[in-house]
């Protein structure tokens, strides 16, 4: 039986990827940010997951305004690195897990979540920067990835509540996969940030810290946050936080916070990072 052993959230700022690729992680600006991921890099080496169900949003790299799936699942053997305007990042191609992905697609669709099945897709900083933060610069990623892409770019994105319920369905799907796999679920994006308009540069530390607290203390409070509140409190790109609720829904009722990091700013964004463990005994590794 496959089982979900942990959840990870992290912001996915593209400049973090550039700092790694251009070997600037030791500079005054970046060193404190990368120090905040040291614990998690050691932790994940020990955990050695087989597969990451990696929830992220595409930033008009693989999709355009012509086709906008709300929820999509990557079922391919592998996912090339998207060119976001400066050439693809110099990181390994992402290896998929087509068997698990197809099982998830079937289970989720029959569970009434209408996933778009993607058999060919480049992946952008939303997916690769979190991998770089946790795994560094390997010649091949030490894990397979099932990408779950969420539209948070073009109105209307899904609600936080819908995302949480998708996470619960992902858990049911993983637990009904008949292979002995150590699966993690990751939610990327956030925290507060706004990249354009009159409020560009907005950061809201009290909102972010309450959100970090409630990922383990009171997730029901987070499930109720409407779009307008994300916009008002966390800026226009703060809506990426709904993807954290997919991860959280997949971990079950109670979780233990193993690690937390919060740092302001990286580029225009407040960076938040959590490592959570499901408390359900069946899931403890
Ligand atoms: C930035 C953050 C993002 O989440 C993103 O997708 C693009 C840019 C930033 O802070 O620069
Ligand atoms: Fe983003």
- The beta strand positions in 119-268, using DSSP E, are 144-150, 182-188, 255-266
Helix (H, G, I), strand (E, B) or coil at 245: helix
Give me the tens of pLDDT residue by residue for the chain, a chain 285 residues long. Answer: 999 999 999 999 999 999 999 999 999 999 999 999 999 999 999 999 999 999 999 999 999 999 999 999 999 999 999 999 999 999 999 999 999 999 999 999 999 999 999 999 999 999 999 999 999 999 999 999 999 999 999 999 999 999 999 999 999 999 999 999 999 999 999 999 999 999 999 999 999 999 999 999 999 999 999 999 999 999 999 999 999 999 999 999 999 999 999 999 999 999 999 999 999 844 444
Domain residue limits, the chain = 3-284
The residue ranges of DSSP E strands in the chain, in sequence order, are: 3-10, 51-56, 71-74, 78-79, 94-95, 116-118, 144-150, 182-188, 255-266, 269-278
With beta carbons less than 8 A apart as the criterion, state whether 254 and 228 touch: no
Distance from the alpha carbon of residue 53 to the mean position of ligand 2, in angstroms: 18
Instruction: Look at residue 22 in the predicted model and tell me its pLDDT.
Output: 97
Cβ-in-10-Å burial (0-12, 13-18, 19+) of 47 comes to middle
Of the candidates 59, 97, 125, 273, the residue annotated as catalytic is 125
Under CATH, domain 3-284 is a member of which superfamily?
Answer: LigB-like (3.40.830.10)
What is the 89 CA–ligand 1 centroid distance (Å)? Answer: 15
Spot the catalytic one: 193, 263, 273, 283: 193
Q: Considering every ligand atom, which ligand is closest to the CA of 194?
A: 1
Active site annotation includes 125: yes
Instruction: State the Cα–Cα distance between residues 264 and 234, nearest whole angstrom.
Output: 13
Ligand 2 centre from 157 Cα, in Å? 14
Pocket perturbation via mutation, ligand 1, pick of 15, 82, 195, 238 by most ligand atoms within 8 A of CB? 195
- Separation of CA 177 and ligand 1 centre (Å): 35
Annotation marks residue 12 as catalytic: no
Contacts of 21 (CB under 8 A, 6+ apart): 89, 90, 91
Q: Kindly report whether the global pTM for this prediction surpasses the value 0.95.
A: yes
Ligand 1 binding pocket, CB closer than 6 Å: 12-15, 59, 189, 193, 195, 237, 267-269
Q: Is 223 helix (H, G, I), strand (E, B) or coil?
A: helix
* SS3 track for 1-33: CCEEEEEEEECCCHHHHHHHHCCCCCCCCCHHH
Cα–Cα distance, 37 to 58 (Å, whole number): 23
Q: Please name which ligand lies nearest the alpha carbon of 152.
A: 2
Q: Is the distance from CB of 49 to CB of 55 less than 8 angstroms?
A: no
Sign of torsion, CA 60 83 14 47?
Answer: positive
Task: Say how many Å lie between the CA of residue 145 and the centre of ligand 2.
Answer: 19
Q: Which of 17, 59, 84, 193 should be mutated for ligand 1, with most atoms under 8 A from CB?
A: 193
Angle at 182 between CA 176 and CA 184, to 5 degrees: 90
What is d(CA 258, CA 283) in angstroms, rounded to the nearest whole number?
Answer: 15
Q: What is the pLDDT of residue 284?
A: 46
Ligand 1 atom nearest 190 alpha carbon: 4
Q: Hey, whose CA ends up nearest to atom 9 of ligand 1?
A: 268
Report the alpha-carbon angle 177-8-108, nearest 5: 35
Protein residue closest via CA to atom 10 of ligand 1: 268
Nearest CA to ligand 1 atom 4: 13
């Amino acid at each position: 039986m496959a089982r979900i052993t942990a959840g990870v959230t992290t912001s996915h700022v593209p400049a973090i990827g550039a700092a790694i690729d251009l070997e600037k992680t030791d500079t005054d600006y970046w060193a404190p940010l990368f120090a905040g991921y040291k614990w998690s890099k050691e932790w994940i080496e020990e955990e050695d997951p087989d597969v990451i169900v990696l929830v992220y949003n595409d930033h008009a790299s693989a999709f355009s305004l012509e086709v906008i799936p709300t929820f999509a699942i990557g079922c391919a053997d592998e996912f090339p690195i998207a060119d976001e305007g400066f050439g693809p990042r110099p990181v390994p191609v992402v290896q998929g897990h087509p068997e698990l992905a197809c099982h998830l697609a079937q289970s989720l669709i029959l569970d009434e979540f209408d996933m778009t099945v993607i058999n060919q897709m480049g992946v952008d900083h939303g997916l690769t920067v979190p991998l770089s933060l946790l795994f560094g610069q390997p010649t091949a990623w030490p894990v397979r990835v099932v990408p779950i892409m969420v539209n948070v770019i073009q109105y209307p994105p899904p609600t936080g509540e819908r995302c949480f319920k998708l996470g619960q369905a992902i858990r049911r799907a993983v637990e009904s996969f008949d292979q002995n796999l150590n699966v993690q679920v990751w939610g990327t994006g956030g925290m507060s940030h706004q990249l354009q308009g009159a409020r560009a540069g907005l950061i809201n530390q009290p909102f972010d810290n309450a959100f970090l607290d409630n990922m383990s203390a009171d997730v029901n409070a987070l499930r109720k946050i409407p779009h307008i509140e994300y916009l008002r409190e966390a800026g226009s790109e703060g809506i990426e936080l709904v993807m954290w609720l997919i991860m959280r829904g997949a971990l079950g009722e109670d979780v233990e916070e193993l690690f937390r990091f919060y740092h302001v700013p990286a580029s225009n964004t407040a960076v938040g990072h959590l490592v959570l463990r499901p408390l359900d005994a069946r899931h403890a590794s």
